[in-house]
Structure 1
């Protein structure tokens, strides 16, 4: 794979600010290549909407509200793969190739260099979805293209880390290490589909969630939340000791091991309950230490901090699920509740907050959450609560799952349409990028 091209500091391939002010304001594909965040976020928004609408259709068909769908792959496995690996890595690329060079003291990256792996990923998901409903080997081929795309992105980011000479590359190295695990997880999931071993693919997805997706979030948030908070609220300090990052990564890394142990051993259950209660208390304490209460005065900042609270809730629900599993003699499984608190609550809320912030800042607009962004964020919070209630097995929980899926799809599509319009137009302030 070729190394990523880096723009020289003395030249820019983009139109000058004056040219931009006089350029057509209609949406154009070419503007997606003006900045990595435009291209990565547009692709991520596309996958976000497609995956949400696809799952809503699946549920509608399951409950007789739409024509029945043929299946060549387990619906739960297909759902897990596309929600776990579908859109988040694409948003990662937009952020990492925009912020990464700044972290590493390097010149900006050309968005054009991201095209090949990005197109491989998008076309791979299209083939994957066709295979899910027609032919399982086709789904494996599609996921293989996705894995190839992420391998390309990881190689490119590794080139940036290697080229950097700044003393502090810790966060970038954590992201790179997690991305390499993501490469291995994706290829392992491909192998599971190819060999008709769904358990292998699910295990690979679990590793990818806890050792790839979540650690990337941890590294970015450890660096950015204190910085954003101190910038908006100078009364607070940008507190981010490195031991905090390593402790956070250890708490995440233990989850794929604790879960299986807790399900087969009383000792494992006791350890998992205690460990996750401590992790929950630590995450909630950190949310307060980072300025949760103070952040509520600034909507865009509040979105980040409130999203972070879901991490503590997810750890707490992990403990509750393990305890209920033990108390009920392994007959009541609430594991979907902590899973969705983590994925839909923590990962989804932070994604919405960070992507909104980057889109505003790099779109030449005010760094603020307007009524639309604020409403979409609270729509997402409602979807999370409905989904958690739907995981309790109470009467009517099926309807709650459907409502959560519909609300999630509405938020995903509305956010994508709103911000996707920005990516194909010049910056509002006329500056390059």
Structure 2
């Protein structure tokens, strides 16, 4: 039964951890890209903005650490206890660390105008993130079959906190080495391990639930191989050996393509909400192949592809997968049918079009400025529509009357 608009109320945000985390995550999808959109438009028109930090650093900070952690925490606080046989977390246990994350990010954004707030805001975010890690640790490490995925997800989130510490080092010293370490830890130590771990567990599970004669396939060796490749890539880059990452990128790309086929990308189109997850995972093989080609070229003394591989990974895999997973959790935990409506399905394809625009912008240098503007404006349009569709759900009671 459709809920009336009059039932919208902020109190429902704290009824479940996914509500509390997904709502600011949806805000971040838009807020994190607004400064970059302003920078891209300024460049296109030949103007400059008064950044206290170089704008590329701000973009990396907001894109990698602003958007995804809220969605990751919302998902893990909902799913990890179930993986480990705990059931749902007690109501309200997450509220204080959540409030710290909100307050800290408020300080980070305010520091765009008042730079003195940057480091204090980061410290508050650190406190909220660390609190959540401490809260999840006994769940993640509890003995049981769920630990196969819970422990890597928890460790990756710890690596994300280490990356956040690197950002704090950059804020305190201005040394770009800290910023570079933060980016590598964020991509290869945090986001890729989390997204692959969740995909390894959930894509076969969801597929087996809705596709007939589907046999779930999630061998532990595939999980460990991809986690090793991610950490190996990040370590090689941090050691200044990025021209050798093809040694891990190309085998990992082969594994990703194998799993894309084995998990049934083509069959997944029978159920659009499921296909969104498969499409997000499909981008992993492409991104890793691009990283491998780029590294091989560097090994031969050539520079190719620019930031195309990174954006294939971040916009293609991370963002499309997050769109599918967050939409699914939102629908399922609000008592609605697990069905992607036509708009959600179109937005899934639109995000991939944004990824293509951003990748082409690295390859077609003559049109780069215009393509980057189109990509960031496309992002804002896509997630503006997505937020309009899904954010009100977090402010309403469940459609089926159940708690949560």
For the pair 1:295 / 2:276, whether they are aligned, the reply is no
8 Å CA contact retained: 2:233, 2:248: no
Which consecutive aligned stretches of 4+ in structure 1 deviate over 4 angstroms post-superposition?
20-25
1:276-326, Cα deviation, whole Å (9 max, x unpaired): 222212211110001111112211111111110110011111022223435
8 Å CA contact retained: 1:25, 1:426: no
8 Å CA contact retained: 2:44, 2:369: no
1:341-380, Cα deviation, whole Å (9 max, x unpaired): 1111100000000001111111111111110100111110
SS in 2 for 1:49: helix
For the pair 1:60 / 2:41, whether they are aligned, the reply is yes
Relative distance call for 1:405 and 1:399 in structure 2 (3 A) is same
Relative distance call for 1:334 and 1:111 in structure 2 (3 A) is farther
For the pair 1:206 / 2:206, whether they are aligned, the reply is no
For the pair 1:108 / 2:73, whether they are aligned, the reply is no
1:219 shift after superposition: 1.5
Relative distance call for 1:129 and 1:333 in structure 2 (3 A) is farther
Further displaced range: 412-421 or 339-348: 412-421
- Structure 2 match to 1:4: none
1:78 shift after superposition: 0.9
Which of 284, 292, 298 matches 1:311?
A: 284
Aligned partners of 1:392, 1:21: CA distance in 2, in Å?
46
- Structure 1 match to 2:126: 147
8 Å CA contact retained: 1:69, 1:133: no
- Structure 1 match to 2:65: 85
- Structure 1 match to 2:149: 171
Relative distance call for 1:130 and 1:70 in structure 2 (3 A) is farther
SS in 2 for 1:126: helix
1:336 shift after superposition: 0.6
SS in 2 for 1:396: helix
Further displaced range: 333-342 or 123-132: 123-132
8 Å CA contact retained: 2:18, 2:77: yes
For the pair 1:353 / 2:302, whether they are aligned, the reply is no
1:62 shift after superposition: 3.1
Aligned partners of 1:231, 1:90: CA distance in 2, in Å?
27
8 Å CA contact retained: 1:101, 1:160: yes
1:40 shift after superposition: 1.0
How does the TM-score come out when normalised to structure 2?
Answer: 0.94
1:129 shift after superposition: 2.5
- Structure 1 match to 2:15: 34
8 Å CA contact retained: 1:105, 1:165: no
How does the TM-score come out when normalised to structure 1?
Answer: 0.88
- Structure 2 match to 1:226: 204
Structure 1 runs not aligned, ≥5 long: 1-19
Aligned partners of 1:203, 1:111: CA distance in 2, in Å?
36
Relative distance call for 1:205 and 1:111 in structure 2 (3 A) is farther
- Structure 2 match to 1:370: 341
For the pair 1:127 / 2:98, whether they are aligned, the reply is no
Relative distance call for 1:167 and 1:352 in structure 2 (3 A) is closer
Relative distance call for 1:350 and 1:111 in structure 2 (3 A) is farther
**Which structure would you say has the larger Rg?**
1
1:185-240, Cα deviation, whole Å (9 max, x unpaired): 21122022101212212212211221112111122111111100111113111111
Relative distance call for 1:21 and 1:431 in structure 2 (3 A) is farther
8 Å CA contact retained: 1:70, 1:133: no
Relative distance call for 1:131 and 1:336 in structure 2 (3 A) is same
For the pair 1:48 / 2:33, whether they are aligned, the reply is no
SS in 2 for 1:113: coil
For the pair 1:186 / 2:164, whether they are aligned, the reply is yes
Aligned partners of 1:40, 1:430: CA distance in 2, in Å?
21
Aligned partners of 2:233, 2:386: CA distance in 1, in Å?
31
Give RMSD over aligned pairs: 2.2
1:394 shift after superposition: 2.6
8 Å CA contact retained: 1:318, 1:335: no
Relative distance call for 1:187 and 1:258 in structure 2 (3 A) is closer
1:127 shift after superposition: 1.8
- Structure 2 match to 1:98: 78
1:76 shift after superposition: 0.5
Structure 2 runs not aligned, ≥5 long: none
1:183 shift after superposition: 1.7
For the pair 1:409 / 2:363, whether they are aligned, the reply is no
Relative distance call for 1:233 and 1:73 in structure 2 (3 A) is same
Which of 363, 371, 380 matches 1:400?
A: 371
8 Å CA contact retained: 1:77, 1:198: no
